[in-house]
Structure 1
Amino acid sequence: MGDPFGKEHTHTFKKLLQTNVPAATAQIKAYLEEQDNIPVNIAITGESGSGKSTFVNAFRGLDKKDQSDAAAPTGSVETTKEVKPYPHPNFPNVTLWDLPGIGTTNFPAAKYLEHVGFERFDFFIIISADRFTENDVKLALEIQKMKKKFYFVRSRIDQNMWAEEQTQREFNAEKTLSIIRESCVDGLLKLKIESPQVFLVSCFDLHLYDFHLLTKTLERELPVHKRDTLLLAMPTVHFEMICKKKEALKAKIKYHASLSALTAAVPVPGLSVAVDAVILVKATLKYKNTFGLDSKSMANLAVKSGVLLNDLRAVMISKLSLDEINIELIMKLLLVSGVVVASMASEEVSRFIPLIGIPAAAAFSFTCTYIALNNFLNMLTEDAQTVFTKALGSNSSV
């Protein structure tokens, strides 16, 4: 369904608000649920041993030592024998599909795409540990024919850079990266790949090199309705990503606040406060997961960055980051917010004022939830920034 607050729906939605509160409530709930379940399917392919599984794990925020069932198995030999989906641990509607290395199958490129279920994927990432091979190019040409997006990733650029530094008397990182990138692009152009996009990545250090450029490109080239879905699931590897995630989350606050307002229109004492608390908990949990401040993500970040988990937690300020988010915590935080408390109290009183009571209660409830979620989002954004600085410092790109 479309955005109920979008231009094409605004008039209809306003009429529902005035005449049918349950229908308006159902429309907003359906919209939020739809937004939370927009599927994004990413195909990860390439030659055997190129680092596909390592990339899948890194993109999903899992550390290299994770032995859970959620992690894709990695190794120096081909470990992917069949198409296997790996949903994002915090955003299961975003799935990375680890495909068998094309060089390990008996299928030619065109049949390979049919075998792995080409149509289900939004785009392809073709991984190579070193130079792109004949099989990589054949596959890219078939994807190109079918008018889908694909991107080339050199997955072990940290090793390449180390080798280059050992052999160059006057090593320059920027210049060396540019030479490697241009060499890849020129080679692919000669093999008739149209406008090849090549990204140099270290799967163990996503904050270095070109991964941030890859995320920007994916975000820009995805269909509009899928951009925020992918953005929220992407690993946070630079400050701009934190800001973009914040803006995407902030844009949804009006819907949560509207649900609160619609609940307030039902004249049942205490109902709106109870519903508001549930709305606030659910939204705040999503904020925390989006910024990677949940326990699992923090533990993985500690392993990746080499910074002790306790040291990462020490730079957090808000109780939202440090404590388990539940109704009790949310209510405590609301009690220390004078504006929010005043709005809640006014709402409970105003709903019983003849004629103007229900509209007034709805307005107060909207204001209360809107202010609270903005405050909570700001608090978690600040913690995400301080944790990022502690983990990676200023070393977020070469």
Structure 2
Amino acid sequence: MADVFRSLNLLETLKESIESNKLSDVRDAVEDLLISRINLAVVGDRGNEKASFMNSLRGLGPDDEGAAPCPSPAAAEEVAGYPNPKYPDFRLWDLPPVPTTSSFEPEEYMNKFKFLRYNAVFMTFTQTLQPNSVQVYLEALSLQRQTVYFLLLASVKDTDKTLEERKKASLEELKSQGVKQPKVYLIRPSTLEKLDFPGLLEDMGRDLPEIRAHALFLALPTITSALVTQKKDSFKAIIWAAASLSGGVSAIPVPLVASMVDSSVAVRILLKAQLSLCLDDESIERLARQRSMEPAKLKELRTCVLSVEVTKGEVKKRLAIAEKDLATVSSKLLQMAMPRHARSAGRSFTAMLQALNSAIDEMAADAENIVAAALGEGK
């Protein structure tokens, strides 16, 4: 149970809100994370690489239902939206490429396509970084928008050498236009775990508002073991907040959790975890298709019953066991974990915290084994 308190900023923010009795802020944060509300824009030519990138961000292959098609059916000046099949509030927006005309005005492009409404923008290209795209980036920086990223998308024919040459040329273009610390991320759209995508996620985790960054991590497919760990930490922060709102922590009525006996929120959190960690049958079957593996080989790696199916009966059973085991929990740990004014209501808090943290640990271990098997097969 102690590893939930490893200097996770989101958790500290939630604890401060509880201490200040700002329970509505905590409830809203939990709700936002469970919904995974985020909007990402992808700018660039509408070719195979861009479509593959948008599909991979949603865990889809080109033939899956809801996949972004190529060629795109959208008109040249039209924005196309692609929701995540698991999380309708996580949306990718396909924006047209930045015009290459010499009379280009970045403000006009940004206003036309509502550039600033997106949580992050990916400026994609496959060959040469266009100067006008850099102008859009600089204009975004002047408006205090830091979450704009240049992505060099690789085709299946590109070699590491040609990609490095293009990346170097792109960095020089950025420097020539006054970008002080230029960054270009090399991305293989169909295998995001390779090249620079993990580094891009690290940078986005620092650049995005914290709640939004966690929402992004929860909605992405589990492509690396590091992302599984990030998801696990996010869920443990959610669990802490939900446990704090349960069982009479405050005299203020909170509709999120009526009591520990009502396990509906616990079920909801674990259902979200099953989907986020890609442990459900549909996600595993998609992954198996993409890696040319037998689905049964990956499914048999699920050793936790909650990885296979989240039921209210199983959740209630775990909560009941946790209540019986409360006597073994260190009182010092309990004092450290709980909001100061809530320690008299420790039984409900600790039971939910212990039961759900244990469940998340088991489910994350299954996810890590599935990711390792899939990546190993891919090699």
- Residue 188, structure 1, aligned to residue 174, structure 2: yes
Moved more, 182-191 or 99-108: 99-108
The whole-number CA distance in structure 2 between the counterparts of 1:264 and 1:117 is 42
2:274 equivalent in structure 1: 288
Secondary structure (helix, strand or coil) at the match of 1:92 reads: coil
1:156 equivalent in structure 2: 154
- Residue 320, structure 1, aligned to residue 303, structure 2: no
Q: Post-superposition shift, 1:136?
A: 3.1
- Residue 374, structure 1, aligned to residue 362, structure 2: no
TM-score under structure 2 normalisation? 0.79
Alignment identity in percent?
27
Q: Post-superposition shift, 1:229?
A: 1.7
2:368 equivalent in structure 1: 385
Secondary structure (helix, strand or coil) at the match of 2:302 reads: coil
The whole-number CA distance in structure 2 between the counterparts of 1:178 and 1:394 is 27
2:6 equivalent in structure 1: none
Q: Which has the larger radius of gyration?
A: 1
2:70 equivalent in structure 1: 74
8 Å CA contact retained: 1:64, 1:204: no
The whole-number CA distance in structure 2 between the counterparts of 1:130 and 1:31 is 41
Match of 1:47 among 38, 45, 48: 45
Amino acid at match of 2:314: L
Q: Post-superposition shift, 1:141?
A: 4.1
Q: Post-superposition shift, 1:366?
A: 1.8
Gap runs ≥5 in structure 2: 1-10, 328-341
The whole-number CA distance in structure 2 between the counterparts of 1:80 and 1:392 is 37
8 Å CA contact retained: 1:51, 1:127: no
What do residues 138-178 of structure 1 show as CA deviations (whole Å, max 9, x unaligned)? 433443443423211111254211xxxxxxxxxxx5x7765
Query: How many residue pairs were aligned?
Result: 348
Secondary structure (helix, strand or coil) at the match of 2:158 reads: helix
1:88 equivalent in structure 2: 84
1:352 equivalent in structure 2: none
1:97 equivalent in structure 2: 93
Amino acid at match of 1:383: D
The whole-number CA distance in structure 2 between the counterparts of 1:104 and 1:50 is 21
The whole-number CA distance in structure 2 between the counterparts of 1:102 and 1:333 is 54
Match of 2:199 among 191, 195, 213: 213
What do residues 19-68 of structure 1 show as CA deviations (whole Å, max 9, x unaligned)? xxxxx6x66534422444574322110134373332222111111211x2
Moved more, 43-52 or 109-118: 43-52
The whole-number CA distance in structure 2 between the counterparts of 1:309 and 1:395 is 14
1:329 equivalent in structure 2: 314
Q: Post-superposition shift, 1:90?
A: 3.1
The whole-number CA distance in structure 2 between the counterparts of 1:134 and 1:48 is 19
The whole-number CA distance in structure 2 between the counterparts of 1:283 and 1:48 is 37
- Residue 120, structure 1, aligned to residue 117, structure 2: yes
Q: 1:194 to 1:83 in 2, by over 3 A?
A: farther
- Residue 110, structure 1, aligned to residue 119, structure 2: no
Amino acid at match of 1:84: A
Amino acid at match of 2:311: N
Moved more, 57-66 or 141-150: 141-150
The whole-number CA distance in structure 1 between the counterparts of 2:32 and 2:178 is 40
The whole-number CA distance in structure 1 between the counterparts of 2:316 and 2:173 is 60
Q: Post-superposition shift, 1:279?
A: 2.2
- Residue 248, structure 1, aligned to residue 234, structure 2: yes
1:168 equivalent in structure 2: none
What do residues 347-397 of structure 1 show as CA deviations (whole Å, max 9, x unaligned)? xxxxxxxxxxxx99943222221111011101111001000011002979x
Secondary structure (helix, strand or coil) at the match of 1:206 reads: coil
The whole-number CA distance in structure 1 between the counterparts of 2:297 and 2:121 is 38
Secondary structure (helix, strand or coil) at the match of 1:57 reads: helix
Q: 1:146 to 1:365 in 2, by over 3 A?
A: closer
1:65 equivalent in structure 2: 63
Match of 1:29 among 24, 27, 30: 27
Q: 1:81 to 1:300 in 2, by over 3 A?
A: farther
8 Å CA contact retained: 1:47, 1:104: no
